[in-house]
Amino acid sequence: MDSDLLADEAKYCSFGDTVHYVTPPKVFTSCDGSYMFDAEGTPYLDLQMWYSAVNFGYRNRRLDAVMRHQMDVLPQVASQYLHPTKIQLAKFIAQDAERKFGLPGRVHFNVGGSQSIEDSLKVVRNASNGKSLMFAFEGGYHGRTLGASSITSSYRYRRRYGHFGDRAQFVPFPYPFRRPKGMTAEEYGDYLVKDFARKFENEYHAVWDPKTNQCEYAAFYVEAIQGTGGYVVPPMNYYKGLKKVLDDHGVLLVVDEIQMGMWRTGKLWSIEHFGVKPDVLVFGKALTNGMNALGGIWAREELINPQIFPPGSTHSTFAANPLGTALGLEVMRMTHEGDFGAKIMQSGAYFLEGLKELQKRHKEIGEVDGLGLALRAEICTEDGFTPNRALLDKMVDIGLGGTLEYKGQKTGLVLDVGGYYKNVITFAPSLEISRPEIDQAMVLLDQLLTRAKAA
C-alpha cells in the first residue's frame, strides 16, 4: 500500500508544504496515547507529538468526546454570529492572564499559528502608528506566512519570496551551552541585555531617536524558550533585564507561545517562569490538541479594545470556528483541574534524569537540559561539543525504521530535530506520558545511539 501511496504523492502533491526528512517518507495509519502505528501495527513511541500540537496525547478520550458532542450540536457557524464556546474560551484566557499579569485584555482567534502571528503584527503596527520594524531572536521561528517569515531568523524561508512589509533585526538569544568561555549562564544573560541596551545609548546605533524618545522598532518578538531553535532555556534573569530595556524605550514585548505554551513547560504560558508581563501573547497548536485548527492572540486592553482595533481589522472565514473553540475550552478546563503543572514538572525531572544517565554512557550527548516536558539533547562528536548532525540524522532514520526492540517487540521511535546546527533532539512527549513510557524512551534511545554510532 505504501508504495502506491508514495507514487501518487510524488505525482499529485505539492512538496512545498512539508519536508519528509527520511527516504522513503514514513506513512502512519493510526495513533493512541504516546504512540503512532504503521500499517503492520508496529508501535512508534512518539517523543515529538506533532511538534507539540498534541500535548494531551493522541486520541485523548475527554477531548475527543467534546469534539463529537460539538459535531452533534453546532459544528458550523459563520463568524459574524456568536456561539457560546468562543466567548467562554476568550473569557477563560483573558481572566487567567489578568490574574497572572495584573493586566486586563482581550482574546482574538484565527485558524493557526502563523495567521495569529500575522494578527499580532497588525496589533503592534496599529499601536505604533504603522511601524513595521521588529526585533526578534537569532534562531527564532514564528511561521511561514509572509509576515511571520520576515520575523523568523532563517533567510532560507525568505530567499525565494522576499518580504511583505515587516522586517526584523535579529538579536542573539542567550544559549547557555554555547556561551562564551569564562561566564556563567547568568552573566551571559546580563551581558546580552547590556549589549541590547547599548542600541539605545545614542542615535548612532540606528534604532533610537533620543530627541523625541522614539524607537524605530515597534516590538520584540520572543519565544521564551526557543522551539525550532533547539529547546534552549535561557538563564532565568534574562527576560527581566530585557523587559526593562523594552519598557524604558516604548517597545512592546510579544511572546510567541505557539510551541512552548499550553503547558509544555509545566505552566500554561512559558513566559510565566520568568516573572515578566507580556504585552501580547500568541498561541496555537495544542490549544485544540492538534485537532480542528485554532490559534489566537491575547493583548493588553489598550492595544486591542474595539476603539483602537475595530471590527474587521482581521478576518478569516474559519476564525473562532466552533469545533476549535469547544476543544480549546475543554483543554483549558481539563488543565485547570488539580495541579496539572506539578505533574508535568515531575515527569520532566524524571525524563531529564533518564537523559543524564544516558549521557554518562554516550559521550556524543553534549548537553541535556529542559524545562517541564520541553527537553533537549545535543548530539555532538566524541568531544561532546562539536555538533554532529550526521549522527542525529542516522538516529532519526533508524527510529522511523521501526526495528528497535522493546520487551521482545519490534518498536519505533519518533524524534524531532532542531537547533542552529540541526543536531538537537527536541523532546516534546505527551504531557500524559507515563513513567514506564519514559523508561521505554531511555531504552530505545540507548539502542538507537548504539546502532547509529556503529552504522
CB of residue 112 to ligand PLP, shortest distance in Å: 4
CB of residue 60 to ligand PLP, shortest distance in Å: 19
CB of residue 138 to ligand PLP, shortest distance in Å: 14
- Please answer whether residues 261 and 292 qualify as being in contact, where contact means their C-beta atoms are separated by less than 8 angstroms: no
Nearer to ligand PLP, 112 or 296 (CB): 112
Q: What's the CA gap between 441 and 435, in Å, rounded?
A: 10
CB of residue 101 to ligand PLP, shortest distance in Å: 20
Contacts of 241 (CB under 8 A, 6+ apart): 189, 190, 193
CB of residue 358 to ligand PLP, shortest distance in Å: 26
CB of residue 169 to ligand PLP, shortest distance in Å: 18
CB of residue 414 to ligand PLP, shortest distance in Å: 16
Q: What's the CA gap between 262 and 268, in Å, rounded?
A: 5
Nearer to ligand PLP, 113 or 234 (CB): 113
Task: Write the DSSP symbol of residue 291.
Answer: S
| Exposure b/e, 301-330, CB count within 10 A at least 16 = b | eebbeeeebeeeebeeebbbbbbbbbbbbb
Nearer to ligand PLP, 147 or 354 (CB): 147
List interacting residues with ligand PLP (CB under 6 A).
51, 112-114, 117, 141-143, 223, 227-228, 256, 258-259, 284
- Please answer whether residues 255 and 222 qualify as being in contact, where contact means their C-beta atoms are separated by less than 8 angstroms: yes
CB of residue 426 to ligand PLP, shortest distance in Å: 10
Nearer to ligand PLP, 289 or 411 (CB): 289
- Please answer whether residues 387 and 335 qualify as being in contact, where contact means their C-beta atoms are separated by less than 8 angstroms: no
Q: What's the CA gap between 198 and 136, in Å, rounded?
A: 16
- Please answer whether residues 323 and 85 qualify as being in contact, where contact means their C-beta atoms are separated by less than 8 angstroms: no
- Three-class SS of residue 369? strand
Q: Per the omega criterion (within 30 degrees of 0), is the bond before 24 cis?
A: yes
Please name the amino acid found at residue 259.
Q
Nearer to ligand PLP, 148 or 452 (CB): 148
- Please answer whether residues 452 and 445 qualify as being in contact, where contact means their C-beta atoms are separated by less than 8 angstroms: no
Nearer to ligand PLP, 143 or 348 (CB): 143
* β 417-418/424-427 pair status: antiparallel
Nearer to ligand PLP, 223 or 364 (CB): 223
Nearer to ligand PLP, 331 or 444 (CB): 331
Nearer to ligand PLP, 57 or 143 (CB): 143
Please name the amino acid found at residue 96.
D
CB of residue 269 to ligand PLP, shortest distance in Å: 13
What does the block give as the cell for 3?
508504495
| Exposure b/e, 193-228, CB count within 10 A at least 16 = b | beebbebbeeeeeebbeeeeeebebbbbbbbbbbbb
Task: Identify which of 296, 293, 295, 348 has the alpha carbon closest to the alpha carbon of residue 323.
Answer: 293
Task: Identify which of 345, 334, 377, 353 has the alpha carbon closest to the alpha carbon of residue 265.
Answer: 345
CB of residue 290 to ligand PLP, shortest distance in Å: 10
- Three-class SS of residue 166? coil
Q: Which residue has the closest beta carbon to ligand PLP?
A: 113
CB of residue 278 to ligand PLP, shortest distance in Å: 14
CB of residue 144 to ligand PLP, shortest distance in Å: 7
Nearer to ligand PLP, 42 or 52 (CB): 52
| DSSP structure string for 382-418 | TTSSSB-HHHHHHHHHHHHHT-EEETTEEEEEE--EE
Nearer to ligand PLP, 42 or 228 (CB): 228
Q: What dihedral do alpha carbons 296, 302, 306, 309 form, nearest 10°?
A: -70
